[in-house]
Structure formats: C-alpha cells, structure tokens
Structure 1
Amino acid sequence: MKSNIFDYLNSESEFFNFLTDVEVLNKNTRTNYISWLRFLSQYHKIDNTIDEDVIKNIINVESIIKNERNYYSKDKDISNFKSALNKYLKFVKEDFYTKNSIDVDTEIKEINNSDIFTITEKQNLTLSRIGQGKFRNQLIEYWSGCSITKLDKLNLLVASHIKPWKKSDNFERLDVYNGLLLLPNYDKLFDKGYINFDNKGKIKISSFLEDKDLKILNISPEVKLVNIESKHIEYLEYHREHCFIG
C-alpha cells in the first residue's frame, strides 16, 4: 500500500488542475468529472491507492444500485463514472499531486540558476513566488488591507496571485493587478479554486462548497472586492476559466 495517503476530496483542486493542464479538457467536462467523483466519494473509498480492481468494484456496485435512485440511473451515467475514475487513476499514476506540491522549490532553483536575470530580478521573482518582497509590498500599498474585508492587520494577510505564479510570465508575476491581499480563509479558497470574483468584484462561490462549509468559513455570497480596475479583469477571467471549480 502506498504511503502518504490522500483521498479524492483533499486532492480535488489538484485533480482539477490536472484536467486543465495535462488532459486539456474544457470547463464543462472538467466540472462534470468533479461532480461525478464528488458523488462517488460519498459512498466509496477513493484515494491514491486506487487501481483497476478498485474501479471495477465501484462500477460493479454502481451498476447494481443505479436503478434504486432517481438520478445517475442510466447506463451512460455508469460509463461517465468509469471515465472519471480512470482520469483520477491517471492523475495518481502520474503523481501529479506530489509534483504540484514540490514545484515551488523547483521553480525557485530554476530562477536562481538562470543566467538571464540580475541578482535583484532573481530576488524579486523568488520572493514573489512565496508572496513576499516587492510583490507583497505593492499589494499592501495598493489595497491597504484585505482586498475584501479591509482588515489592516497585515501580518494576518496573504499576498495571493490571481493568475497562478507558475502560469504567469515574469511581468505578471510582479504585476500589482495580478494580486489580492486576503485573509487566510479567502486566500486558501481562492488558491484552491473554490471562489472567484466577477468583473465587478462580486464573489463567485463554487457549487461544490456546501452551505455548512460557507457558514463555518464565514463566507457570504454578498461580499465583494473593495476595489476593482480594468487591469484586474484579464487575470480574474484567467482564474475563472482555468482555476475556478464552478
């Protein structure tokens, strides 16, 4: 059995990224896979010990009980379940979850080993990767506090890229309009793709966040960014298309 077990729900955001970056599936297809695996994970153990036999057993069970419910009751639904499970198996086999978690160190080493940047540029880019340095200072100057709540306790706020750092060019990595200054709960939800903001700054909440989750996290559908400019929109649209689990 594999060590460092992670289950589907804990790896959902990374799996969504896998469907985006590796499988290059469109938004609707990605969302469908998430829906199917969300449903199956309620009744079956789905984690990184998954293999062909596990998938076969799940599909056998679902094929038997599908007629007992009013939804996901067709042969096509069972086929969709199998397709989603096979995608997750591929995600596990390619070790995408682990690779994603160690990318920061790799990216920083690549910057420091590069011959095309000055020492100052290397420092700025490296600190930007972890939400510090020039990038964070620019966000503090721009937002003055949390981009949503206006809380000005800066030591509690996280400097977060809107378009992910690894998907940005070097200008975008330091662009103040590609950043939000957020309380940790908002930052984590945004980073994992469970919230986004529309072109007027109003929050968009993933349908995969339950009401009880929103209550615990104190997330209201009425909140919005305290300010938004046209230069933010391109970044928010990127996040909405490629990162937001709608």
Structure 2
Amino acid sequence: MLEQYNLKKEALIKAMKKIDDLGIPKNDVAKKHVIFLDGNAYPPVYLLSMAYAVTYGRLLDTREIKTERLLISDYEKLGFETMTLEKYHEFQKAEWDKLNSLTEDQESMLDNLRDNSMDLAELHKIMEHRIDKSSMRERLIKSNGKCVCCDISSPDLLFVTSIIPFEFCEEYEIVDEHNYLLMCSHHKTLFQKGYISFDSDEKVDLAEFTKEEEVIFYNLNSFKEHQFSEGQTHYLDWHYDNVFNKKV
C-alpha cells in the first residue's frame, strides 16, 4: 500500500512531526491500530495521508483508504512499531501509573489528604513535580526549546506547565502532552493565576486588572508570538474561557 503511493520512511517521519504540530482531526483518529514512535501514537491511515501531503503537496482523502490491515504490515516492514488501539491504551495507563507512582512519603501525604489533613494544593504540587521530571519535559524542550512567552531557553529555567489545572483534568488530559507548555517561572505564575492567556489568534492577552507597573516589571508588552498545535489550542481555549481574568 505504501509502495503504491511511492512513500519513503523519511516522508513518514516528517509527517509524524507535522501531526505533532497540527494534531489529528476528529474524523481521522485511529480505529484499530496505531503507529508508535517516541511515546507518540499515529493513526495509520491519516499518517499515510499526511506523508502524501509532505511528499506531493496535498492530503489524500482518508475515506478512500479502506485497507488499514495491509498498511500495518507495510509500516512494520519499514521498521515502525505498531500496536492495537487496546494495547496503546494499556501503554497510556502504564504511563499514567508511572506519573502517579508515589514514594512512601508521598503515600503518607495521600493518607493525610484522605483524612482531610492535607490541602489539595500539596497533592497538585506532587503531580506537577512528577510531570516536570518525566520524559515529557525532555520532548517539550527538544521540540520547543524556549518559554512560549519569552526567549528564555536555559533548561534549568524552564518548567512544564499544565494548561488546564490538575483539579479540572480528566485522567487522559494529565498525560496528554498537548495539555502542557514550557514556561519560565515568571510567566508560569502569571499564566496559572489568570493574568495572561492566549487568544484565538495565538497572541498573549493581559488580564483587565493587570497594573501598569506589573506590565513594565514583567515586560508584558513585548511578548513573542508562538505557534501552537491544534491540540494545544483546544486546551488554551479552555484556559482563556475558564482561568483567564481569574475566573476560577
């Protein structure tokens, strides 16, 4: 099937990077299998379509590609790892379990939480720490490299920041890389507290109550524009509607 379209492995890898940036359309999600690379999963049919676009300049109509089973065999011949959708969901659960695995001290904190003697904020700090130490951080630094608001690029000064606060996340949203941004400490705090967000044009917007001296101190008038993936835009819309201007 891949040979029919004269698609090389290099084109498929480029297509994967394109999908990482743009996300996957709702109608093109995986049905039974995924192609798996570096912790990310790709729908075999849509990946073929995107690889065709990378090579020839236009997407294929995925509705006309009915032979997913044959595609899987072709991907495997090229050295790609494939798995059923069920197995991928098991992988996601395992990743979630790893992120959520706690030390004895942290288990004690959870016991305190259940006894109403520990604040939820403490639990969120634990989760934030686990996320920031995970492989997700390395992938974000590799793909972005800078704070999404400024030019700070030193890894020691960058933090993995959830777009939707943990207390409002579904489980799958906590392990979804599109729900995270790289930010320096200043902009992370401003973002989490609702002082800044990103509008529909992907430009930074300032909260209506931001003081002039704060604008000057944080240099808020010189934000650089940042291009987000379709998946990140979905979460940023939620942030703009629910967190920005201290709505929650």
Normalised by the size of structure 2, how large is the TM-score? Answer: 0.47
Higher strand residue share: 2
Q: TM-score, length-normalised on structure 1?
A: 0.47
